[in-house]
Structures are given as structure tokens and as C-alpha cells.
């Protein structure tokens, strides 16, 4: 038996499915010829009057095409990676401002009949829902953090490609790789990024005239304590993510004999770090990331043994193998909270689950699936590169600190004393001789 959603806007068959179903007929009706597609007047009318999902589909198709064509021209599979920090913001911007932009492009007539004036808003800004604007602002903060980290890691340098793509390309046949690049890298990833705006689309459609007889318990036209509480939670999550990124950045620089500003380090007589000229660290060791281990450098919380290990295990990374990824996934769950905030009444007449389990859940769920799959692959690469990584996987949870807490109990009471000692030495202390030999 299919249960009727407590609010009609929550029913995917009321808006989203019909919008997708009539996309092509609506599109061809507005653009009967290829030439008409390039007419600004026709484009304006279509954007202003068509379902916002239709224009989002076109935006997604355009970026998918661009990514695939550029990938084929350059041979670089990181085309979507270069847009990752911006695309979710673009889609949320679209759903937040679509009505306002449409009003500006196609202003309604001030007169509906000879005797009666229309009740058109005073300005386009009246059509922007404050809750959607808040969500957009939070995504701008998300984008700023991610873009900053991507820039300093050199991800926007010309020709830069994620290290995983060449490895994956080498493991596949040419035909399989071409199919993969088209279906997953160019199309599926762009669809996933478009779906990050599903909560905004759901909230937007709930305020349409179609549902004027179904008032919302907490309409997005005004902000309350719940809105700001969710916003504060997201900002806190971004701060934690920033610290995780920073710790990773500082460790990787330290491993290569540099401080967090990129200046070269050298060991001083008292065992603490001191700055030296960059030329002092030149040579083969500077290329394989063992500068600090070879020179016996200690800087901040990091020791030569940490550099020898090859990967960061201190700070937030002692509680999660990927604290930045954990926070990234959490971001989309936090943003989704604006959906139940909009629809859930103070005294629900039915199960709370029916207000919270909506089609917009596809946004955080797909992000979970993507990050889980990509992290498994990344860890397989790390495990092959760093012998101690297998012990790190045993001792620290992949994402959740709770997972690490459970493992702590296991190693404290169930694992043998020698096993506990070896594993924890490899993770946080001095790597064992076997691990060192393997490197």
C-alpha cells in the first residue's frame, strides 16, 4: 500500500516526475527549430515560464557535454573535478533566483483586465524566498572553503589531473574507459551535482500556486530559530572540515621538509624545527617525500617517525581516517534539514518519518554512495603505497569517530597486548622494522 504524503508537494508524482516527463514536449514547444534556441527573446520566455527543473536539466546537459568534449580534446579526466566546487552553488542559485530572474526577463502585465489591476509583486526581490536565500548563502561558504583548499593544492593548475584517474585508466581497456568517461565522469557526476539542489527545488515548488490550498507549517518566506540553528550547525561543520584540511596540508608540507607556508625546515640542535633556505632541501629525498624523515626534523606535533609513516594520523585524523570527507557528506545532510523544517508541523498528525523521508533525500544519499565508493578506491591505493596503512585501517574508523571508539574498546580489552602495541606503534608511534623494510 502506498501512503499519501502529508503534504502534496512532498509527493514526487505531483511535481518532479511530471516535470521530467513533459520536459521534451515543453522544450520543443518553446524552441520549434534549432535557430529559435539562439533567440534571446525565446530563451527569456522559456526560462521565465517553464518549470525550473527544465532549465536545470539544460544546464546539466550543457556542463556534461562540455566536460566530455574537453576530456576528449585534452585527455584530462578531471574536467568535472575542476567544476566541483562551483556547480552545486550554480544549481542552488538557479532555484533560489529563478522566479526573480523570470520576473525581470518577462515582467507581468500591470493590468489583467480593463477593470482590474494584477497583484504582481512590487519587485523581483519579493519572489526570493528567504530560506532558499539562506541555503544559497551557506553553499557559497561551502564553496569558498573547498575552492580555497583546491587552489592551494594546485587542483586548478593547467593540465592538473586527479591522481586516481590515470591509475583507473591504466586498469581498464580503451573501450571500457571511453564508456566510463562518458557515462560516469561526464554524465553521472554532473547529474549528482545537479541533485545537490533537490532540497531547494522541493521547497521552491511547495510555494507555487499549485499548492496554495495546502499551507506549509513553516513557510520559507520567513526565517526562525530553526533556520539559524541549522545554519550554525553547517558553519561548525565547515570549521571542523577546515581544520582537517589544514592538518593534512601541514603534515604533507612537513613530510616534504617544509612548514605550512611552504618554507623549508631543518632540524636545530635542540630538536625543534628551524627554517633554512629552500636550496638546503633540494635533492632526491625532496622528491619522494622523505625529507623530514631523512633529516630527523620535528615540527609541531610531527616527528621524523610521522614523516616515515607517509600519511597523517594525528589531530582529527586520529579519530577518523577521512575527517574532511566525513564533514563533506555531513554538509548535504545538514542542508537537507531545511526540508523537514519547512514541512514538519509542531504537532504532526502522522509519523515524523513521512515528513522527513522525501525524494530530496537523493541529494545526501548519493553523496554518501559516491564518497564511500571513491574512498574505498583511494584507500586501496594508499594501502599499496604505505605499508602501515593497513594498521591505520584496523585502528581508526573510515569516517565516524564512533567507529574509532568501538575499535578502541576492542584493542583495549579484546586484542592481544602485542597486537595492540604493534598496531598503535605503526599508527601513532615508531613504525616497526617490518614496515620500514617494506618501504
User: Quick one: pLDDT at residue 282?
Assistant: 39
Domain boundary among 369, 385, 401: 385
358-405: per-residue pLDDT in tens?
A: 999 999 999 999 999 999 999 999 999 999 999 999 999 999 999 999
**Torsion angles phi and psi, residue 111, rounded to 5:** -130, 125
Residues 192 and 268 in one domain: no
Query: What total of structural domains would you count in the chain?
Result: 2
Residue 376 located in a structural domain: yes
Residue 230 located in a structural domain: yes
User: Quick one: pLDDT at residue 272?
Assistant: 52
533556520: which residue's cell?
Answer: 227
Q: 306 pLDDT exceeds 50?
A: yes
Biggest distance spanned by C-alpha atoms of the chain: 92
Cα of 206 vs its chain's centroid, Å: 25
User: Quick one: pLDDT at residue 280?
Assistant: 39
Residue 429 located in a structural domain: no
165-191: per-residue pLDDT in tens?
A: 999 999 999 999 999 999 999 999 999
Secondary structure string (H, E, C) spanning 103-169? HHHCCCCCECCCCCECCCCCCHHHHCCHHHHHHHHHHHHHHHHHHHHHHHCCCCCCCCCCCHHHHHH
Q: 341 pLDDT exceeds 50?
A: yes
**Range(s) of the domain holding residue 199:** 1-107+124-218
Higher-confidence residue of 279 and 437: namely 437
574532511: which residue's cell?
Answer: 324
Residues 192 and 332 in one domain: no
Q: 274 pLDDT exceeds 50?
A: no
Residue 232 located in a structural domain: yes
Residues 205 and 72 in one domain: yes
Higher-confidence residue of 420 and 285: namely 420
pLDDT band at 287 (very low <50, low <70, confident <90, very high): very low
Residue 433 located in a structural domain: no
DSSP3 helix / strand / coil % (the chain, rounded to 5)? 65, 5, 30
Helix/strand number for the chain, H first, E second: 23, 2
Domain boundary among 370, 385, 400: 385
Residues 257 and 301 in one domain: yes
Look at residue 349 and give its three-state secondary structure.
Answer: coil
Span 259-273, average pLDDT: 66
Residues 195 and 236 in one domain: no
The mean predicted confidence, pLDDT, of the chain is 89
Residues 185 and 238 in one domain: no
CA distance readout (Å), 285 to 44, 163, 233, 269, 290: 59, 21, 43, 21, 6
**Torsion angles phi and psi, residue 274, rounded to 5:** -145, 155
What is the rounded CA–CA span in Å between residue 144 and residue 137?
11
Residue 406 located in a structural domain: no
214-239: per-residue pLDDT in tens?
A: 999 999 999 999 999 999 999 999 99
What is the rounded CA–CA span in Å between residue 306 and residue 313?
8
Q: 316 pLDDT exceeds 70?
A: yes
Q: 273 pLDDT exceeds 90?
A: no
Span 52-70, average pLDDT: 98
CA angle at residue 81 from 78 to 87, to 5 degrees? Answer: 140
Residue 179 located in a structural domain: yes
Q: 18 pLDDT exceeds 90?
A: yes
Which residue intervals of 211-290 are DSSP H helices? 225-255, 284-287
Higher-confidence residue of 147 and 156: namely 147
- Which own/partner pairs from 288-292 qualify as long-range (CB within 8 Å, at least 24 positions apart)? 289/255, 289/256, 290/255, 291/255, 291/256, 291/257, 291/258, 292/254, 292/255, 292/256, 292/257, 292/265
Residues 44 and 15 in one domain: yes
Residues 167 and 296 in one domain: no
Residue 36 near residue 91 (C-beta atoms within 8 A): no
Residues 212 and 273 in one domain: no
**Torsion angles phi and psi, residue 117, rounded to 5:** -85, 155
pTM to 2 decimals? 0.90
Domain boundary among 218, 233, 268: 218
pLDDT band at 275 (very low <50, low <70, confident <90, very high): very low
Residues 262 and 208 in one domain: no
Residues 209 and 235 in one domain: no
Higher-confidence residue of 18 and 111: namely 18
Handedness of CA 386, 391, 395, 398 (dihedral sign): positive
Higher-confidence residue of 4 and 218: namely 218
DSSP string for 281-344: G-SHHHHTT-HHHHHT--BTTB-HHHHHH-S--SGGGGT-S-HHHHHHHHHHHHHHTHHHHHH-
CA distance readout (Å), 405 to 318, 414, 428: 11, 14, 16
CA angle at residue 106 from 102 to 107, to 5 degrees? Answer: 105
Residues 233 and 156 in one domain: no
Span 336-340, average pLDDT: 98
Strand partners, 258: 264
Span 409-436, average pLDDT: 87
Residue 411 located in a structural domain: no
Residue 356 per-residue DSSP state: H
User: Quick one: pLDDT at residue 230?
Assistant: 99
What is the rounded CA–CA span in Å between residue 46 and residue 106?
10
99-121: per-residue pLDDT in tens?
A: 999 999 988 766 555 445 555 55
Amino acid at each position: 500500500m502506498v501512503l499519501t504524503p502529508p503534504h502534496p508537494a512532498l509527493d514526487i508524482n505531483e511535481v518532479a516526475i511530471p516535470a521530467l516527463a513533459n520536459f521534451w514536449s515543453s522544450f520543443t514547444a518553446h524552441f520549434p527549430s534549432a535557430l529559435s534556441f539562439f533567440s534571446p527573446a525565446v530563451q527569456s520566455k522559456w526560462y521565465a515560464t517553464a518549470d525550473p527543473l527544465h532549465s536545470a536539466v539544460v544546464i546539466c546537459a550543457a556542463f556534461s557535454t562540455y566536460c566530455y568534449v574537453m576530456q576528449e580534446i585534452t585527455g584530462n579526466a578531471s574536467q568535472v573535478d575542476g567544476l566541483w566546487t562551483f556547480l552545486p552553488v550554480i544549481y542552488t542559485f538557479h532555484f533560489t533566483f529563478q522566479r526573480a530572474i523570470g520576473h525581470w526577463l518577462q515582467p507581468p502585465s500591470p493590468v489583467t483586465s480593463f477593470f482590474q489591476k494584477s497583484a504582481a509583486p512590487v519587485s523581483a526581490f519579493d519572489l526570493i524566498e528567504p530560506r532558499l536565500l539562506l541555503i544559497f548563502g551557506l553553499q557559497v561558504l561551502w564553496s569558498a572553503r573547498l575552492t580555497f583548499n583546491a587552489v592551494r593544492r594546485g587542483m586548478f593548475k593547467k593540465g592538473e589531473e586527479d591522481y586516481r584517474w590515470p591509475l583507473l585508466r591504466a586498469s581498464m581497456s580503451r573501450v571500457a574507459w571511453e564508456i566510463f568517461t562518458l557515462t560516469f565522469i561526464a554524465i553521472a557526476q554532473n547529474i549528482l551535482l545537479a541533485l545537490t539542489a533537490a532540497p531547494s527545488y522541493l521547497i521552491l515548488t511547495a510555494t507555487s500556486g499549485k499548492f496554495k490550498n495546502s499551507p506549509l507549517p513553516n513557510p520559507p518566506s520567513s526565517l526562525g530559530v530553526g533556520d539559524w540553528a541549522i545554519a550554525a550547525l553547517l558553519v561548525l561543520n565547515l570549521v571542523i572540515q577546515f581544520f582537517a584540511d589544514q592538518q593534512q596540508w601541514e603534515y604533507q608540507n612537513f613530510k616534504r621538509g617544509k612548514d605550512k607556508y611552504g618554507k623549508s625546515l631543518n632540524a636545530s640542535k635542540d630538536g625543534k624545527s628551524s627554517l633554512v633556505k629552500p636550496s638546503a632541501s633540494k635533492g632526491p629525498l625532496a622528491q619522494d617525500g622523505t625529507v623530514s624523515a631523512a633529516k630527523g626534523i620535528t615540527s609541531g606535533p610531527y616527528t621524523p617517525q610521522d614523516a616515515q609513516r607517509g600519511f597523517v594520523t594525528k589531530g582529527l585524523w586520529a579519530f577518523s581516517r577521512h575527517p574532511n570527507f566525513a564533514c563533506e557528506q555531513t554538509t548535504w545532510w545538514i542542508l537537507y534539514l531545511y526540508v523537514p523544517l519547512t514541512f514538519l508541523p509542531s504537532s504532526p498528525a502522522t509519523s515524523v518519518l513521512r515528513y522527513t523521508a522525501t525524494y530530496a533525500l537523493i541529494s545526501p544519499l548519493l553523496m554518501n554512495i559516491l564518497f564511500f565508493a571513491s574512498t574505498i578506491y583511494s584507500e586501496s591505493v594508499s594501502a599499496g603505497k604505505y605499508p602501515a596503512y593497513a594498521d591505520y585501517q584496523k585502528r581508526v574508523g573510515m569516517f565516524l569517530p564512533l567507529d574509532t571508539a568501538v575499535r578502541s574498546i576492542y584493542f583495549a580489552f579484546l586484542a592481544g597486548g602485542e597486537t595492540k602495541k604493534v598496531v598503535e606503534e605503526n599508527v601513532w608511534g615508531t613504525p616497526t622494522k617490518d614496515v620500514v623494510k617494506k618501504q
